[in-house]
Structure 1
Amino acid sequence: MMLDDTQCYRALLSHDARFDGRFFVGVRTTRIYCRPVCTVKPPLAKNCRYFPSAAAAEIEGFRPCLRCRPELAPGFATVDANRRLAQSAARLIDDGRLQEASLEDLATQLSVTDRHLRRVFQQEFGVSPVEYAQTQRLLLAKRLLTDTDMTVLDVALASGFASLRRFNDLFKKRYRMTPGELRKSRGAKSPTDRLVFDLAYRPPYDWPATLAFLAKRAITGVEVVDDKRYRRTMRAGKLSGWIEVVPAPKRAALRVTVSASLALALPSVLSRVKALFDLACNPTEIADALGPLAKANPGLRLPGAVDGFEIAVRAILGQQVTVKAAITIAGRFVKAFGDECETPFEGLDRLFPKPEAIATLTQDDVAKHGIIGARARAIIALAQALESGDLSLEPTAEIDATVAALETIPGVGPWTAQYIAMRALAWPDAFPHPDVAVLKAMRHDKPRDALANAEAWRPWRAYAVLHLWKSLEKST
């Protein structure tokens, strides 16, 4: 949003949750910065400065409020090209990529020059990518120090710092206290075998609808869903473990429990959870754009992915069959090729296969588990493309090029490519127009007619698809 001082101050006075995460306010007299929903007494207008990101506030010498905790603020979705580039870079940084790669490597992955990336990032967030990464590491460390019983050394490593000394020095410089001093004010701590985080979202959030969507598509061994919570196994690099997600009590957030085995991959894990549950969504903005279509369910979210390959395989297996049939076949696929994973939950014991485990298989290896030959070939070709680096299924991938590359894989058509774009690439304007349910809900016989009429829903056509599917559920 444009940081107009008058508008920002009005939002601050109203504590309107719709502005949470869209800007931060720094108070000149205290040198503290807050979220616009902070419950402390509002400062005088003349003492306020406004920033587009937490990193922009910190680089100017402001430290985070201990009450509203800026690290808990939700993100926000964008579709503009430059803003999408900046958000893609931020997503990679949140995923911990700058811990092992340079900014040049990041820019190469995003198919731009590092100079262009720095310029766009500065425009969007008010700081450089490196400064943003530094702030994200510190905010994660602050959260771990406050909410868990991890040692300071483990906190430093989990937050992406290469040395304890560097962590201590930067923490004290930024926050004017040592990590130990912060711990004196912490509340309840997580058990040592798990870590608990609250990830904020902008209400409304239709949690029952999201849970029902995931439950209907849950793969045996990988996911367990009941009427209150979502659990699944997860792989992050060489680490593996499990997560559990439930609504947080008394606040607009999801409570995420992460197994201790994933502690050193927290940036990546939390980033993927945010993508899976679409926590960056601004539902009011989308509902306004979709109009009557979204009126009945304004809090619908677009479920994303923790693993792009998993979503792509699901899409291929789901071609021309029911969701139930596709999940049954997916369960066989996981049982045959997925690794075992130890969890404390019954029925949760498998990791979805990695592309490298599938790329060397033959068609017969896959087909003998009840998978049609053409789909078996498509899955193997997909795995090979990912392993060779010719294809990326991360949300940061370039949309048009990725969709085009997917459609070159034999057995992957427009429906499959668009569905993958919806979920794996988190593209809000994806539209699988050949989808039978979409055509039925729109009362069209021809996909091209549905595509033409969906123009009115741009750039939120993926959300329109969810509402169309939902309308069919209510009519049956």
Structure 2
Amino acid sequence: MHTDFARCVRAVQSKDARFDGWFFTAVRTTRIYCRPSCPVVPPKPENMSFHPSAAAAQQAGYRACKRCRPDAAPGSPQWDERADVVARAMRLIADGVVDREGVPGLATRLGYSTRQVERQLLAELGAGPLALARAQRAQTARLLIETSELPMADIAFAAGFASVRSFNETVREVFALAPTELRRRARPGVRSAAPGTLSLRLPFRRPMCPDNLFGHLAATAVPGVEEWRNGAYRRTLTLPYGHGIVALTPRPDHVECRLSLTDLRDLSGAIARCRRLLDLDADPEAVDALLQEDPVLAPLVLKAPGRRVPRTVDADEFAVRAVLGQQVSTAAARTHAGRLVTARGTPIDDPEGGLTHLFPSAAALASLDSESLAMPRTRRATLTGLIAALASGDLHLGIGADRQRARAQLAALPGIGPWTVECIAMRALGDPDAFMPTDLGVRRAAAGLGLPATPAALTRHSARWSPWRAYAVQYLWATDDHPINHLPAN
């Protein structure tokens, strides 16, 4: 979008927050870059230039605006929507892969050479993987500076900088303030009251309907791993350097995020996972506009616009849970998952609630005696086959996965049919066009709305909802008075 100069100018002049994260406005006279919705008086068009990423603006010598804080804008929705190499790379960079494994590690995960990855990112985003990772480190550093009392040296290394000197130079270059000045300017009340806990605000594009999003997560919560407590969805997180506990509370203009981490190097990755879980980088106006073109869906969208797709913080975990949920009730699926957690999950301490374990990894589940599972023999075989494929690395479902290849690999496993494949594609792989025509809730809603009854006919009708069929599923599910569609009582 950043190449459409006239459209970008109109967005800036109208302070249109829908375009925050889609592009960044650089002002030649002040050498500052902003969000489109920046509250300051818009500059003259001849003084504007537009960049596809904060990293590109920084590469061009611009520093972040202190008013609109462009580094904290919602991410571009296309990185979750698209399935190409650039989008996969952006999801992996957000998860911290470049900081942990370098650019060669990123390229290996994508199945391309380092040169090919750098060339594609530069062509589309105006910055290579190192610059994109540097911009993310700067944002992580600012969050730690403003929301914690940590010494600056600790923040530097937690944010992924190789030295305190590079930390100081980057913060000054990006924010035009020294780290200590950033801390002094932090707004009152943003720091966490509980030692070791970070309190953050996760922005999103409006509108957002929290009912099905948080209702689904609470209703399907695995005992010991997830819970709804005091108006917040809480869960444990398995992270590259350690583990964490997050509490997510819906607010009118943001999601309140309280994070407790055993290693602060996991901060940026934990935030990225929480944003994916809640689908916070979605563009709800684009989604709802298309779905409203179908007169059958239009009343559902107008009644509660901005439904998001509840996703996951761990693709392998969700795949296991999807198999456990085959042809059983929500309560039964939770019970089965809870037994796996008790048998193979890693115990943790939770001073603030009832969380007791991390969900077990595929490697930990691989040694489980399948005969101990209280489920039909065929489903036990399906579960053990899935776990073996995940544990061996033959099946990859992470954020950098090739969605179509993963679909094909899942479908090739015994006992995994179209419903399970599309469920995993929607929730774990993040495919916005995943569709489940055989799902009981979808078929019941379709019948009630006068939509085609058979899966084949419903799939044909759903073509008009593409590429947002996963969101159409949320609106169809919402026609049923099921706990997944309601915020639970506190």
Query: TM-score range with shorter-chain normalisation?
Result: over 0.9
Alignment of 1:262-281 (within 5 A): 262-281=263-282
Residues 88 and 374 of structure 1: is their aligned pair in 2 closer, same or farther, counting only changes over 3 Å?
same
User: How far apart, in 2, do the equivalents of 1:131 and 1:231 lie?
Assistant: 33
2:464 is matched with which residue? 456
1:389 is matched with which residue? 393
Q: Secondary structure at the match of 1:184?
A: helix
Give the alignment partner of residue 208 of structure 2, picking from 181, 190, 205: 205
Q: Secondary structure at the match of 2:478?
A: helix
Contact 1:53 1:125 in 2 (8 A): yes
Report the alpha carbon displacement of residue 288 of structure 1 after superposing the two structures with TM: 1.3
> Are residues 1:258 and 2:259 paired?
yes
Alignment of 1:172-187 (within 5 A): 172-187=172-187
Give the alignment partner of residue 324 of structure 1, picking from 331, 334, 351: 331
Q: In structure 2, what residue type is equivalent to 1:286?
A: V
Contact 1:241 1:343 in 2 (8 A): no
1:378 is matched with which residue? 382
Q: In structure 2, what residue type is equivalent to 1:206?
A: C
Q: In structure 2, what residue type is equivalent to 1:297?
A: A
Tell me the alpha carbon deviations over residues 79-126 of structure 1, each in whole angstroms, 9 at most, x when there is no partner: 899774212211111111111223233122123333332233223322
Tell me the alpha carbon deviations over residues 289-323 of structure 1, each in whole angstroms, 9 at most, x when there is no partner: 11242333321000111111211111111111111
Alignment of 1:48-447 (within 5 A): 48-78=48-78, 84-188=84-188, 189-191=191-193, 192-226=195-229, 228-248=231-251, 252-291=253-292, 292=295, 293=297, 294-365=301-372, 367=373, 370-443=374-447, 444-447=452-455
Alignment of 1:24-35 (within 5 A): 24-35=24-35
Single out whichever of 1-10 and 413-422 deviates more from structure 2. 1-10
Contact 1:241 1:341 in 2 (8 A): no
Residues 330 and 194 of structure 1: is their aligned pair in 2 closer, same or farther, counting only changes over 3 Å?
same
Contact 1:236 1:262 in 2 (8 A): no
Report the alpha carbon displacement of residue 151 of structure 1 after superposing the two structures with TM: 1.6
Q: Secondary structure at the match of 1:100?
A: helix
Q: Secondary structure at the match of 1:230?
A: strand
Contact 1:72 1:198 in 2 (8 A): no
Residues 314 and 83 of structure 1: is their aligned pair in 2 closer, same or farther, counting only changes over 3 Å?
closer
Contact 1:418 1:432 in 2 (8 A): yes
Residues 80 and 243 of structure 1: is their aligned pair in 2 closer, same or farther, counting only changes over 3 Å?
closer
Residues 426 and 336 of structure 1: is their aligned pair in 2 closer, same or farther, counting only changes over 3 Å?
same
Tell me the alpha carbon deviations over residues 32-70 of structure 1, each in whole angstroms, 9 at most, x when there is no partner: 111111212222222222111111111111111112111
Report the alpha carbon displacement of residue 377 of structure 1 after superposing the two structures with TM: 2.6
Q: Under a length normalisation based on structure 1, what TM-score does the superposition of the two structures give?
A: 0.93
Q: Secondary structure at the match of 1:289?
A: helix
Q: In structure 1, what residue type is equivalent to 2:403?
A: I
User: How far apart, in 1, do the equivalents of 2:366 and 2:276 lie?
Assistant: 26
Residues 419 and 324 of structure 1: is their aligned pair in 2 closer, same or farther, counting only changes over 3 Å?
same
> Are residues 1:467 and 2:467 paired?
no
User: How far apart, in 2, do the equivalents of 1:78 and 1:175 lie?
Assistant: 26
Give the share of equivalent positions with the same residue, in percent: 39
Residues 128 and 105 of structure 1: is their aligned pair in 2 closer, same or farther, counting only changes over 3 Å?
same
Q: Secondary structure at the match of 1:68?
A: coil
Q: Secondary structure at the match of 1:102?
A: helix
Contact 2:345 2:359 in 1 (8 A): yes
RMSD of aligned alpha carbons:
2.1
Tell me the alpha carbon deviations over residues 385-424 of structure 1, each in whole angstroms, 9 at most, x when there is no partner: 1222111111321111101111222221111111001011
Report the alpha carbon displacement of residue 222 of structure 1 after superposing the two structures with TM: 0.9
Report the alpha carbon displacement of residue 440 of structure 1 after superposing the two structures with TM: 2.3
Q: In structure 2, what residue type is equivalent to 1:138?
A: A
**Number of paired residues?**
470
User: How far apart, in 1, do the equivalents of 2:364 and 2:261 lie?
Assistant: 26
Single out whichever of 79-88 and 393-402 deviates more from structure 2. 79-88
Q: Under a length normalisation based on structure 2, what TM-score does the superposition of the two structures give?
A: 0.91
Residues 82 and 363 of structure 1: is their aligned pair in 2 closer, same or farther, counting only changes over 3 Å?
closer
Contact 1:217 1:327 in 2 (8 A): yes
Identify unmatched segments of 5+ residues in structure 1: none
Report the alpha carbon displacement of residue 29 of structure 1 after superposing the two structures with TM: 1.7
User: How far apart, in 1, do the equivalents of 2:276 and 2:430 lie?
Assistant: 7
Contact 2:64 2:174 in 1 (8 A): no
Q: Secondary structure at the match of 2:378?
A: helix
User: How far apart, in 1, do the equivalents of 2:166 and 2:402 lie?
Assistant: 35
Contact 1:82 1:120 in 2 (8 A): no
Q: In structure 2, what residue type is equivalent to 1:310?
A: E
Q: Secondary structure at the match of 1:400?
A: helix
Report the alpha carbon displacement of residue 75 of structure 1 after superposing the two structures with TM: 1.4
Residues 194 and 62 of structure 1: is their aligned pair in 2 closer, same or farther, counting only changes over 3 Å?
same
Q: Secondary structure at the match of 2:258?
A: strand
Q: In structure 2, what residue type is equivalent to 1:230?
A: Y
Contact 2:2 2:8 in 1 (8 A): no
Contact 1:340 1:350 in 2 (8 A): yes
Tell me the alpha carbon deviations over residues 330-370 of structure 1, each in whole angstroms, 9 at most, x when there is no partner: 222212221211112332112111111011223224x1xx2
User: How far apart, in 2, do the equivalents of 1:395 and 1:100 lie?
Assistant: 15
Q: In structure 2, what residue type is equivalent to 1:364?
A: E
Contact 1:19 1:36 in 2 (8 A): yes
Relative contact order (C-alpha < 8 Å, sep 6+): which is higher?
2
Residues 104 and 456 of structure 1: is their aligned pair in 2 closer, same or farther, counting only changes over 3 Å?
same
Residues 181 and 87 of structure 1: is their aligned pair in 2 closer, same or farther, counting only changes over 3 Å?
same
Report the alpha carbon displacement of residue 473 of structure 1 after superposing the two structures with TM: 3.1
Q: In structure 2, what residue type is equivalent to 1:346?
A: G
